Amino acid sequence: MKARTEGKIQTVRLRKECMDINDTARRNGKGVGELKIEDSGKRQWSGDNELRKFQHCNGRREKSKRKAEERNPLAQMEEEKRDHEAKMKKMESEMEQVFEMKVREKKQKLKDSEADLQRRHEQMKKALEQQVKELEDKRRAYEKEKQVWEQANNVTLEELRRRSLEANSK
């Protein structure tokens, strides 16, 4: 009875494993394969290479679990500690890579922003220089027109202002 129950549990677990692999295959857009289990416990996956790799990883993980169960608790704890430290180092290096990538992106964004501001500054400077030039041209034209008018009327604007003030004050 107990052997049959364990067999059912193993069969259920293996079926779940197949479902997990097939679900992963569907999510990744890969084909669905089939897991064949022989009486000796050997598993064979017929399907996509990626799925074979995935199945191979699962098999390796189970083998390491079986080995861990056979060892004494201290050795098992040491191995778990090493695995955890390796995992933490890997995560740390991945986080550092992400951080460095984000720093590079920020620097590039700042560099692009600075270049854009510099370009806009140059455009505004050119526009202001153009306006100054236009105003100087208008001023020269006004001065020339004023001089021509004074010569034509034989009176200066200063003299006209003085006369106007005298007339208003009386």
φ/ψ of 40, rounded to 5, equals: -75, -10
Residue of 90 and 32 predicted with greater confidence: 90
**13-27, 98-112, 145-159: range with lowest mean pLDDT:** 13-27
Residues 104-118, mean pLDDT to the nearest whole number: 98
11-24: pLDDT as tens digits: 445 455 555 655 66
Q: How, if at all, do strands 43-46 and 34-37 pair?
A: antiparallel
Per-residue pLDDT at 155: 85
Residue of 127 and 167 predicted with greater confidence: 127
The pair of structure tokens assigned to 21 is 């692999």
Per-residue pLDDT at 67: 62
Output the DSSP codes for 101-126: HHHHHHHHHHHHHHHHHHHHHHHHHH
Q: CA–CA separation, 33 vs 154, rounded Å?
A: 108
50-84: pLDDT as tens digits: 444 545 445 555 566 666 566 689 999 999 999 99
Q: Give Cα separations from 92 to 10, 77, 81, 84, 85 (angstroms).
A: 36, 22, 16, 12, 10
**99-108, 132-141, 158-167: range with lowest mean pLDDT:** 158-167
Residue 29 has pLDDT above 60, yes or no: no
